[in-house]
């Protein structure tokens, strides 16, 4: 009985692998194949996982075949769309990775304001295609993320205060379950599964298509405002950001100003509060709202102008390139004097080139959804903070990790839960902070029904209810 090669698990025979490969319509990659390294690459370049097999699927049937094969061969599964998993969980060492990048179809019914989007499509491309009709899906802050990843965890982006989370606009999904079945879920069909996939991540299956309800977003008032960062400026920004009309969402970084062409020379290297602003609605009213934000302090950068909504992703393109990454994150109820001071103190001590604390004001439409309606439980959060370090040189890992940990210790007393997409490999207790109380119990029960063997565990994992009970015993 022959095996494929020394790089694959010894349990897989050549005959078994050949039969599988012939049934797959897409591309099956081994470590020796061209395209293998590209297909396993992750946004966080610190992670260098080497799967035994990568299946670049062509349709839902391929996904089903790959899931069944992985189970038959006892291979750990990974699912990769855009490769932005901070913890690197979309690619697994020695297992089988289902690469969704070729599942990137986007179909738009502009009249009905609905879209069918496959998970491998990138958010920026979808934004461009819907923008042609003056429509949008509220995705995150990066155009390079895959739709599958950003959607399943919640989706917190530039429209969150006006239109809520990405999951708030999912009308239905097609997905492959742990037994290889292709099923649909919506408010009317498998409603409990529909509840779980909206915020519960990839714990219940592999989504192969999303139906989204689109929102009207045409020309926005967008761009960057940057102010010298002081504790007073940070606190005032937090206060004003929640008082402004819901049409204005901002995502802000407190960091040392980089040497960019639009940054005044005297500001380079100094702490700044840099807010990327997105106002969707009447532009005259938007100008008044932005003026209120401008009044916080004298800006050192003021680049607010009308633009297509999809162009907002150009402003974050450089910040979301692949690199060595370390982050910690939390929701916080308010940003007062002490927390503002702590944020600034940590940024001043951050090693170059990028050490920042990101602030995302929330509320608005996100908060008006009942917290039991989806698996995203933190509807009442006012702010999301993220401590971020990104660098290139492996030799700097220790210094950046130490700074992130130090900054986290300073901010942690204010933490009230966490967004699952901004979790690293931080353990079960932190996953419990993403899914607290009744949400966790409901998800574990759902997991028992759809994935009792925990086949889909290459994620921020929710154990089946039986496993939870046995551990407690």
Q: How many CA atoms lie within 13 A of 391 on its CB side?
A: 20
Q: Are residues 159 and 253 in the same domain?
A: no
Q: Are residues 412 and 285 in the same domain?
A: yes
> Which domain-ending residue is among 48, 71, 99?
99
Q: How far is CA 9 from CA 17, 56, 74, 440, in A?
A: 11, 19, 9, 34
Residue 307 belongs to some domain of the structure: yes
Q: Are residues 349 and 249 in the same domain?
A: yes
Quote the CA–CA distance of 150 and 445 in Å, as a whole number. Answer: 24
Residue 459 belongs to some domain of the structure: yes
Q: Are residues 371 and 408 in the same domain?
A: yes
Give pLDDT, residue 10.
Answer: 63
Quote the CA–CA distance of 473 and 273 in Å, as a whole number. Answer: 49
For the segment 237-289, what is each residue's pLDDT rounded down to a tens digit? 999 999 999 999 999 999 999 999 999 999 999 999 999 999 999 999 999 99
Give pLDDT, residue 318.
Answer: 84
> Which domain-ending residue is among 184, 216, 248?
216
Give pLDDT, residue 5.
Answer: 45
Q: What is the CATH number of the domain that holds 76?
A: 3.30.43.10
Q: Are residues 367 and 247 in the same domain?
A: yes
Written in H, E and C, the secondary structure of the chain is CCECCCCCCCCCEHHHHHHHHHHCCCEEECCCCCCHHHHHCCCECCCCCCCCEEEECCCHHHHHHHHHHHHHCCCCEEEECCCCCCCCCCCCCCCEEEECCCCCCEEEECCCCEEEECCCCEHHHHHHHHHCCCEECCCCCCCCCEHHHHHHHCCCCCCHHHHCCHHHHEEEEEEECCCCCEEEEECCCCHHHHHHHCCCCCCCCEEEEEEEECEECCEEEEEEEEEECCHHHHHHHHHHHHHCCCCEEEEEEEEECCCCCCCCHHHCCCEEEEEEEEEECCHHHHHHHHHHHHCCCCCCEECCEEEEHHHHHHHHCHHHCCEEEEEEEEEECCCCHHHHHHHHHHHHHCCCCEEEEEEEECCHHHHHCCCCCCCCCCCCCCEEEEEEEEECCHHHHHHHHHHHHHHHHHHHHHCCCCCHHHCCCCCHHHHHHHCCHHHHHHHHHHHHHHCCCCCCCCCCCCCCHHHHHHHHC
Q: Are residues 182 and 235 in the same domain?
A: no
Give pLDDT, residue 470.
Answer: 44
Range of the domain at 131: 106-216
Give pLDDT, residue 472.
Answer: 41
Query: Which residues make beta-bridge pairs with 331?
Result: 384
Q: How many domains does the chain have?
A: 4
Give pLDDT, residue 86.
Answer: 87
Report percent pLDDT > 70 for the chain.
96
Under-70 pLDDT residues of the chain:
1-10, 467-473
Residue 8 belongs to some domain of the structure: no
pTM of the model: 0.94
Query: What is the radius of gyration, based on Cα positions, of the chain?
Result: 22
> Which domain-ending residue is among 45, 64, 99?
99
Q: Are residues 368 and 242 in the same domain?
A: yes
């Amino acid at each position: 009985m022959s095996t494929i090669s020394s790089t694959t698990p010894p349990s897989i025979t050549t005959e078994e692998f050949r039969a599988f490969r012939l049934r797959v319509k897409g591309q099956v990659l081994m470590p020796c194949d061209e395209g293998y390294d590209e297909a396993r690459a992750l946004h966080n370049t610190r992670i260098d996982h080497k799967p035994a097999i990568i299946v670049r699927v062509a349709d839902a049937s391929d996904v089903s075949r790959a899931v069944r094969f992985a189970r038959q061969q006892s291979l750990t599964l990974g699912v990769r769309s855009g490769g932005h998993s901070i913890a690197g969980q979309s690619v697994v060492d020695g297992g089988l990775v289902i690469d969704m990048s070729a599942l990137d179809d986007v179909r738009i019914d502009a009249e009905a304001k609905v879209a069918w989007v496959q998970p491998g499509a990138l958010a920026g491309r979808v934004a461009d295609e819907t923008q042609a009709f003056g429509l949008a899906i509220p995705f995150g802050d990066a155009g390079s993320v895959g739709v599958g990843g950003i959607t399943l965890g919640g989706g917190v982006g530039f429209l969150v205060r006006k239109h809520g989370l990405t999951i708030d606009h999912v009308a239905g999904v097609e997905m492959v379950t742990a037994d290889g079945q292709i099923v649909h879920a919506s408010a009317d069909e498998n409603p409990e599964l529909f509840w779980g996939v909206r915020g519960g991540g990839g714990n219940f299956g592999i989504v192969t298509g999303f139906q989204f309800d689109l929102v009207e977003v045409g020309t926005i008032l967008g761009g960057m405002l940057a102010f010298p960062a002081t504790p007073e400026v940070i606190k005032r920004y937090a206060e004003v950001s929640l008082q402004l009309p819901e049409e204005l969402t901002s995502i802000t970084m407190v960091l040392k100003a980089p040497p960019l062409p639009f940054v005044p020379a005297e500001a380079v290297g100094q702490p700044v509060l840099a807010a990327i602003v997105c106002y969707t609605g009447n532009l005259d009213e938007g100008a008044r709202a932005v003026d209120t934000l401008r009044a916080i302090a004298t800006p050192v950068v003021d680049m607010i102008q009308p633009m297509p909504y999809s162009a907002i992703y150009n402003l974050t393109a450089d910040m979301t390139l692949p690199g060595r990454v370390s982050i910690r994150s939390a929701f916080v109820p308010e940003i007062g004097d002490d927390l503002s001071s702590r944020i600034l103190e940590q940024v001043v001590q951050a090693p170059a080139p990028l050490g920042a604390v990101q602030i995302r004001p929330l509320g608005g439409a996100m908060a008006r959804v009942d917290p039991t309606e989806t698996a995203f439980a933190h509807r009442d959060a006012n702010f999301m903070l993220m401590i971020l370090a990104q660098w290139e040189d492996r030799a700097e890992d220790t210094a950046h990790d130490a700074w992130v940990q130090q900054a986290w210790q300073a901010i942690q007393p204010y933490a009230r839960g966490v967004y699952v997409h901004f979790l690293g490999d931080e353990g079960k207790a932190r996953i419990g902070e993403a899914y607290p109380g009744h949400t966790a119990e409901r998800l574990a029960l759902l997991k028992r029904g759809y994935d009792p063997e925990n086949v889909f565990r290459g994620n921020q994992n929710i154990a089946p209810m039986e496993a939870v009970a046995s551990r407690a015993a």
